[in-house]
Chain A
Amino acid sequence: MDAKTIIAKRVAKELHDGDLVNLGIGLPTLVANHIDADITVHLQSENGLIGLGPSPELEHVDLNLTNAGGQPVTLIEGGMYFDSVTSFGIIRGGHVDVTVLGALEVDAEGSLASWIVPGKRVPGMGGAMDLVVGAQKVIVAMTHTNKGQPKIKTQCTLPLTAYRQVNLIVTELAVIAVREDGLHLLEIHPDTTLEKVLALTEAPLHVKTYTKMEG
C-alpha cells in the first residue's frame, strides 16, 4: 500500500456517523474512498455545497458543479448548494465537525504552515485559514517527511496557516495527537519502528503506550 492510501484509510477511521466533514485538495480528497459503508458522512466543499458525491463520468461533467479545486464533481441526494458567505458561516461558525488538510509543516504546539513558501511558491491560503480555525477537529494528513526532512517540527519555520489549531496528525508512519503538553505518539505503522519514527520527527514526542496503526 502506498503512503497516500495508508494515510487516507487511517484518517477515514476518525470520521463518525453524521459528521460534517471538509476534505482538502490532494491527499485528503482520497479519504472519501475509504469511509466505512455503515456510516453517513456529509462532505462539504467550501465553494458552496454539502453532499459531495463521486467524480462524474466524462459525459456527465457539468461546468457549473465543481469542488474547491475546480474539478468536476457530483451532488448526492439530500445535498444542496449555497453561496460563499453561507459556506464560511458554516465553517467559521463551528458547524464543520472535522476538517482534513495537508501541510508543509506542523509543530509541537499544533500550529501549521500550508499556504506559502516565501520566494518560491505562493498559492495562497484559500479557505484553509477559516477551516482550521472553525472546525471542531483539525486533522493534518501528510507524508511524514519531505525529501527525508521532518515536517513535524519543534516550531514551524514557514508562515503559519493558524496558531495552535491542529488536533491530530496522520502520516504513513504514525498517528500523533496534539495536546496541551505537546505531541503524543498514539500509533505507529506495523512496517516501521519507534526508532525510525523518532528519528524522522523533529518535535519531541511523548511516548508512553502506543498501538499498531490500523490500515
Chain B
Amino acid sequence: MINKQKYLDRQTFVKHLFDGMHIMVGGFMTCGTPEQLIDWLLESNINDLTIICNDAGYPEAGVGKLIAAGRVRSLIASHIGLNPIAGTKMSDGTLDVTLVPQGTLAEQIRAGGAGLGGFLTPTGLNTPAEEGKERLEVDGQPYILERPLRADLALIKARQVDRYGNLNYAKTARNFNPVMATAAKLVCVEATERIQVMDPEVVITPHVLVDYILAEVRDGR
C-alpha cells in the first residue's frame, strides 16, 4: 500500500518551496504541463525561480504564467517564440534566458538523472551554443562537452497514476516529463486519472522516482 504522505495537497506542496529554487517543468508548448501545480506555485509567494522547461509556454499558460507574474529570474529553454512576454523580459534584462538546443536540453536532464558527469554532442558546433564550453575530440571528430542538469523540484504531468505511484503519459504530453522525473530532488506529479494497479508492461516512470501525487486533475489549460 502506498504511504499516505505521498498524496499531495496545497499546504504540503508550499512547505517544500523556497526562493531561488531550481524547478523543472514538464510539457512542450504546454502540452503535458502540470497547470494545477503551476497555479499553486503562483499562489505561494516564492520568487527568483530558475525554471528549466522546453519552452516559455504562452503568456497565460504553462510556465508563461510564472514569467508574466515576474516570479522567474532565469529560464533555461530551447524556444521562447510563442511567449512575447518572455522575449520582452529577456530584452529588458528582467529575465535571464539561456537558450539550449532541444536535444541537448533533454540529454542534460538525462545525464543529471542518470548520474553522469555530462556527455559529448556534435549539436551546436561553431554556433553560439558552443560559447563558453569545452570542445573535445573523439576518434578525430569534434564534440561539445555538455554538463548535466538537476533541479530542486520537478513538476510532472502524467496520464495515469496507480496507488504505488507508477506513471504513464498521454500521447505527446509525454515529452520531457519522464526524464525530468529522474533529475530532481523532489518529484511532484499531477495526474489526470487514478487507477488501482498499473499493468507493469505500460509503466513509463517507476514509482520509486515519485515523491508526491496529485491525482484526478483535469487536462488542459
Contacts and interface: CB of A to CB of B under 8 A. Distances in A.
11 contacts: A48-B172, A63-B219, A64-B172, A64-B219, A66-B31, A88-B103, A92-B121, A129-B102, A129-B124, A161-B127, A163-B126
A64 B103 contact: no
A126 B125 CA distance: 15
A45 B177 CA distance: 17
Interface of B: 28-32, 54-55, 77-82, 87, 90-91, 97, 99, 101-104, 106-107, 109-110, 121-129, 159, 169-179, 204, 219-221
B125 A163 contact: yes
B102 A64 contact: no
B129 to A, nearest CB: 6
A143 interface: no
Contacts of B32: 64
Interface string A198-211: 00000000000000
A122 interface: yes
Interface residues of A, number: 43
A160 interface: yes
Interface in A90-121: 91-92, 111, 115-116, 121
Given A87-B106, A127-B102, A162-B124, 19 more contacts: A47-B28, A48-B172, A48-B175, A68-B28, A70-B29, A81-B169, A84-B106, A85-B110, A85-B178, A111-B126, A121-B87, A122-B90, A123-B81, A124-B79, A125-B101, A129-B104, A130-B123, A159-B127, A163-B127
Interface in A159-204: 159-163
Given A47-B31, A81-B174, A83-B177, A124 B103 contact: no
Max chain A Cβ within 10 angstroms of own Cβ: one of B91, B97, B126:
B126
B106 A125 contact: no
B102 A88 contact: yes
A162 B129 CA distance: 10
Tell me what chain A mostly uses at the interface: helix, strand, loop, or mixed. Answer: loop
Given A66-B28, A70-B31, A49 B172 contact: yes
Contacts of B174: 48, 81-83
Contacts of A92: 103, 121-123
A124 B81 CA distance: 7
Contact of B31 (A63, A91, A124, A130): A63
B176 A125 contact: no
A83 B178 contact: yes
Contacts of A162: 124-127
A65 interface: yes
A159 B130 CA distance: 12
Contacts of A35: none
B122 to A, nearest CB: 5
Nearest to B58: A70
B77 A124 contact: yes
Q: Kindly name the residue among A63, A91, A121 whose own CB sees the greatest number of chain B CB atoms within 10 A.
A: A63
